[in-house]
Structures are given as structure tokens and as C-alpha cells.
Structure 1
């Protein structure tokens, strides 16, 4: 494989989460996580856990106590800000190849597709996130290539724009993502970050682009500011 070739993924077909067959993963999400309007984004619906869903209990009953956190079942503030930004400024992604890194439920990827991207890849390590992204993309008529893999450990993909929503909440993850984004910059890829100011956001590497008032992680009664930033080379941000 060429160093800039995107990793193999799939637009359709089943992905096998541990403990849940591919068919059951889709059936589980359809049955337990309703398709609702994305916060502050007209025309996009995503499967989103509700207070009455009992998602942790449901997942642990199917996958065991070691199940990954179901972060993919909630729109996060940084992802909402990026999605709003792409739809408000479609020229950013128009006819360009876009990667949504750590896609969760694929909200940013769907927005990029709707804004006219030439191709969109959504990557996440969680197999249920990959299934949710596929379901959400189909529900919104968005053509999204879904990849279940940790792309931060490899070379930069063959894209023009990398979108990173809410990946700076953990120190080790933030370091790994930053190193990957540096490789992307070196390959000539534009990097945009959406984030409400999580603990390990590298402000010194960021140039502010826009601000949005958005909900966060399933919150429906309150909003918080979240920024869209351009990720820059050492010494160019701040």
C-alpha cells in the first residue's frame, strides 16, 4: 500500500463488535437509540441516546463490563461546531477529500458530505461507532466511507482536510493525535479542530477560526462555547 493510500474501509456491510454480531449491532442501535435531529443543525438526524435509554446497562448486558464508552451515541460540542462550520462555509470542503478523525457517530462526516466534499472518510476505533456512523450516513443520504481503525498510528491518509472534533480530553490520546496531525501538516493536509476547551487542547498550536454556542454530550437544556481552530505548525499558532 502506498503511504498516502487510505486504509481499507467499507460503505456498507456489517462490522463485528466484540460480543455483538454485525446484524445485531445494527438492530441494537435501531431498537435502542432513536434517530433525532442533531443539536443546532437543520436537516441532519443522528442516532442519539436519551436519558431513558439506559445505554450503559444495555451495552454491558451485551458486551460485558469491559465495553467501550458509548461516546458515539452523543453529539459532542466540538463535532457540532465543526459540522455547523462546514455547512455555513461549504467552500472549506467543496470538492475536497475529507477525513473525520475519531468520528463517533459521524456527524462531522455527514456535514462535510452535505457541504459538497468530493469524498468523506469517517474513522473510529470503536466497532459500534462504525456501525452507528454507517446508519447515520444512510439516514441522511450521505456517502461516507467508514473505517474502523486507529489512524493516528499510521501515515497521513490521501485527503485534503482532516477534521478533529473533541479528541483532546485525554493526555495520551492528545499526544498521539498531535503527532498524527503534525504528519498530516507535513503532507500538505489542512487540519481543522473543533473543541470547547477540553483539558489537553494544544492552544499554542491553534489559530482561532470561528466560535459557536452548542450543546455538549447529550445536554439539551444548556449550551457552551466551542471553537473551530486551524491546527498549525510549531510557533505559528496561539
Structure 2
């Protein structure tokens, strides 16, 4: 027991001085070319801002075209808000009065923020969209949304969350069962998380692609 107490004391002392006992995984180091010259915090920021969780320009253009051409009387549902990058793209292209629901349980983010800090930061980033652009920012597990949603079939269902085969398949089947006009998502081309591609291919495959963004 005294060993655990000593460890906790050391951790508190280090945190109080502004340091962290952290290191990158080998897979993370591969994503940060200058990781040896960065602090842990700088490396996390590099990954979050420069790569993870963001759509490319070509993906954003396709998503914008999809949203702009959607039925403005029916909602857009986004699964996987993260920090609101794709949410902002959707907001820019949807009709001003078209409702949108964006859902995340805030259990993970590439910066390692606590769920409270993650949700607070994302809420602050998207406050204009919520106040002025018919946006609902929902802190909820997506499976809970699937169980309780009673609204109209979405004009667009966009999913960029859990990229496992099982989760992607369940996400897309729910959207199909609801009668979503357009079902799309990201990371079809992920180099090692191939669950998204497998699930999409089993359900008919992509009809349109831009980067890793697929349209079923």
C-alpha cells in the first residue's frame, strides 16, 4: 500500500510543477516526425490539429456538396462531433433553418482532455452554430440516440466515430432502417483500421468517394 501512496505523491508533485509522466506510443511517434524535439503536449497538439479528426479539403468539398443538395426540411445527423471540424463544414453548407443534430459521448479525443474539458471546448467552438444555425449539440452515446430517436428520416447521415467493423455496420444499418436519403462517413481509406471499409463494402460499397469520405 505504501508503494501506491508513494506513486500518487510523486504524480501529484510532478503535476504541480506543470509536468506529465507520459510518452507516445510507437504508432503515435510515426505520425509526428519531430517527436524527439517536441514535448509530450506539443506532440499531442501536432496530432490533433495537424491530422486526426479533420476532413481534408477534398473531403470537405464533397460533404459540402451533399449537404447543400439535401432536403432542407429534414434533419442532418452527425455521429462523432469531436472538436466540431466536420460540424462546421456541414453548418456552412446547410440551409440556415435546416435542423442538425451532432452527437458525441466525449469519451476520447487526441489531446487527452477529460470528457468535461472536451465537451466544454467543443461547446464553446460551436456556440454560434447552436445559437444561430439550428444546431443541437448532444452529449450522448450514439447507441442511446439510436434507441430513443423519434424524429423524421435524416436527409443526411454522416458518421465519423468508432471505425471498428461492428460499430460502422451498426451505424449504417440504423441509418438505412430509418430511411436516410444519404449515408456517408469518413476514414474508408484508413491505413490500418479497415473495419469501416469492410462494413461499407458488405452493405453495397461506396457509390462516391473523395479521399476517405464515402457515400453509400
TM more than 0.5: yes
TM-score bracket for this pair, using the shorter chain length: 0.5 to 0.7
Partner SS for 1:121: strand
Name the Cα RMSD after superposition: 3.5
The 4+ residue runs of structure 1 with deviation greater than 4 A are 55-58, 70-75, 77-82, 139-143
Partner SS for 1:195: coil
Distance 1:55 1:80 in 2: 24
Q: Any stretches of 5+ residues in structure 1 without a counterpart? A: 1-50, 59-69, 213-224, 231-238
Distance 1:79 1:129 in 2: 22
Question: Which residue pairs with 2:169 in the alignment?
Answer: 178
Distance 2:172 2:212 in 1: 20
Preserved CA contact (<8 Å) 1:137 1:143: no
**Aligned with residue 193 of structure 1, among 171, 177, 185:** 185
After superposition, give the CA deviation of every residue in 1:86-124 in whole Å (9 maximum; x if it has no partner): 323411364431111011112222222221241111111
Preserved CA contact (<8 Å) 2:79 2:161: no
Residue correspondences, number? 153
Distance 1:156 1:207 in 2: 28
Larger-gyration structure (1/2): 2
More helix by share: 2
Residue 112 in structure 1 maps to residue 112 in structure 2? no
Question: Which residue pairs with 1:132 in the alignment?
Answer: 121
Preserved CA contact (<8 Å) 2:55 2:86: no
How much does 1:206 deviate?
Answer: 4.6
Distance 2:180 2:105 in 1: 22
Residue 229 in structure 1 maps to residue 209 in structure 2? no
- Structure of higher RCO (CA pairs closer than 8 Å, 6+ residues apart): 1
Q: Any stretches of 5+ residues in structure 2 without a counterpart? A: 1-37, 107-114
* TM-score (ref. length: structure 2): 0.55
How much does 1:55 deviate?
Answer: 6.5
Residue 144 in structure 1 maps to residue 135 in structure 2? yes
Distance 2:188 2:77 in 1: 20
**Aligned with residue 41 of structure 2, among 30, 38, 54:** 54
Partner SS for 1:207: coil
